[in-house]
Chain A
Amino acid sequence: MKSLLLLAACLPVTAQWIHYPTPGIPRTPDSKPNLSAPAPKTADGKPDLSGLWTRTNNPNYFFDLTTKAEEAPMLPSAAALYKQRLAALQKGHPSERCVGHGPTDYATLGQPRRIIQTPQMIAILYESYNHFRQIFLDGRALPPVTQPAYMGYSVGHWDGDTLVVETSGLDERGWLDMNGHPQTETTKITERYLRRDFGHMDLQLIIEDPNAYSKPWGVNLALNLFADEDMIEMMCENEKDYRHMVGK
């Protein structure tokens, strides 16, 4: 939980989201957002995931993607690295140097993110670090990994009403969560997004990596629509945070 220091250092004390009624969303007779209305569709009949979302079901997933109900099936080398990171109280996490997060820890982070959807692509804009990620929907294949990246390279397709996103090309310096479950350049992440109704989206994360884990494992997340609000700018400034970090 020492990473709370980091969050506290990054968010200005005066932070407040700008309240503005989201145009065009279904509302109840008393003008509140109707979060149980049907999920919207795009002009071409696909579910429209657009909007501002926050993670809701369990804040601990950000720190530990397994929540310890069952430990991730780590190979010995990954288990040793994980143990070392845990013992160091998360010191060394890329976010402490403003490098940010990757797809899994941005997914489990509580701060809002906006999904922008077009027929060809989805962009996810994260409040945290003012970073973004792209998911290509135009049918391209995952490319050979030429340049590993913290966000990796993501392609998506529709399986009925579920958006299935596959990501590879991840940088082995990224951590899957704050506690430090490892990833390598062979890590593959599969995300399944299902917008159940207007205000609620299920997100299943599956991690596969024959060089770090003995079998696929994952977690089920829930996202809530964050209606009538917007993100605030959060830029990370290194020197301000780094000196607050504790650990070995």
Chain B
Amino acid sequence: MRHLLILLATLIPVSAQWIHYPTPGIPRTPDGNPDLSAPAPKTADGKPDISGIWVAVNAKYLNDLAADGINVPMLPWAQALYKQRKDNMGKGRPSERCLTRGVVDFDTIPMNIKFIQTPGTIAVLYEEYNHYRQIFMDGRPLPKPVQPAYMGYSIGRWEGDTLVVDTTGFNDIGWLDNNGYPQTESLHVTERFHRRDFGHMDLQITIDDSKAYTKPWTVTVAGFRYLPDTEIIENICENEKDFQHMVGK
């Protein structure tokens, strides 16, 4: 935890404050407060609308994606690398060099994110690092990976009221969580987002990477809380400021 706390402390300016602006058009109780247990909204074409600002409910799964004690079926090399990273207090994680996070650790970090849902594309804006991700909703297939990336390449579809997002094309540099579960270029992540009501969204993540794990494993992570009446603030990562604070071997 020391590592994470130091990093977060250096990234967020002391004076940071989110700009308060009442979110237009959201359901409110008679006293004007956001009604977070109202039904989840729908788009014009009848799909659930997950647009809005959200934050992971806690940091439990950011620190350890397998925090619930599930057995993560690592291959021996992955086990050895994971142990080395964990013993080293997470030093070497790409985020310490401003190199962003990936799909999985952005899903579990308790910093504001914004979903913008349009018929062809869902854009996800991350407060951390001012980075974004695209999820294509136009029916295209996953392409043959040509250039491995931290965010990979994502396509989404609706299964009832659940948004199912498949992502491949990852690089092998990213880490799945702060402890350092490894990934390879054969990683396939499946996310299942379900907006239960106006204020709450559940998320289940399946990790399928036959070069690092003997079989796919699935985690129901903390999910997201809706954040009304706020915004994301700019958080640009500047290397030299953080790197010197990193501890570890």
Contacts and interface: CB of A to CB of B under 8 A. Distances in A.
A69 interface: no
A153 B232 CA distance: 11
Interface in B196-237: 232-234, 236-237
A233 interface: yes
A97 interface: yes
Interface residues of B, number: 43
A196 B19 CA distance: 35
Given A116-B121, A123-B125, A132-B132, A147 B239 contact: no
Contacts of B146: 14, 16, 18
A43 B121 CA distance: 17
Given A114-B134, A130-B132, A147 B15 contact: yes
A219 to B, nearest CB: 24
B97 A238 contact: yes
Interface stretch (A32-40, A84-92, A138-146, A202-210): A138-146
Interface string B76-107: 00000000000000000000011110000000
Interface string A113-132: 01011101101010000111
A147 B129 CA distance: 16
A50 interface: yes
Contacts of B134: 114, 125, 230-231
A147 B130 contact: no
Contacts of A23: 120, 138-140
Interface in A40-79: 43, 50
Given A99-B238, A132-B125, A151-B234, A14 B147 contact: yes
A63 to B, nearest CB: 22
Interface size of A as a range:
35 or more
Contacts of B147: 12, 14-16, 232-233
Contacts of B19: 143, 146, 153
Nearest to A139: B24
Given A132-B125, A233-B150, A123 B116 contact: yes
Contacts, number: 110
A120 B150 contact: no
Nearest to A120: B24
B239 A130 contact: no
Contact of B97 (A131, A233, A237): A237
Contacts of A116: 116, 118, 121, 123
Nearest to A130: B131
Contacts of A117: 118
A2 B123 CA distance: 34
Given A16-B146, A138-B24, A238-B97, 17 more contacts: A18-B143, A20-B140, A97-B238, A100-B130, A116-B123, A120-B24, A123-B123, A123-B125, A140-B21, A143-B19, A147-B15, A147-B16, A149-B233, A150-B236, A235-B150, A238-B240, A239-B239
Interface of B: 13, 15-17, 19, 21, 24-25, 44, 51, 97-100, 116, 118, 120-121, 123, 125, 129-132, 134, 138-140, 143, 146-147, 149-151, 153, 232-234, 236-240
Interface of A: 12, 14-16, 18, 20, 23-24, 43, 50, 97-100, 114, 116-118, 120-121, 123, 125, 130-132, 134, 138-140, 143, 146-147, 149-151, 153, 230-233, 235-239, 242
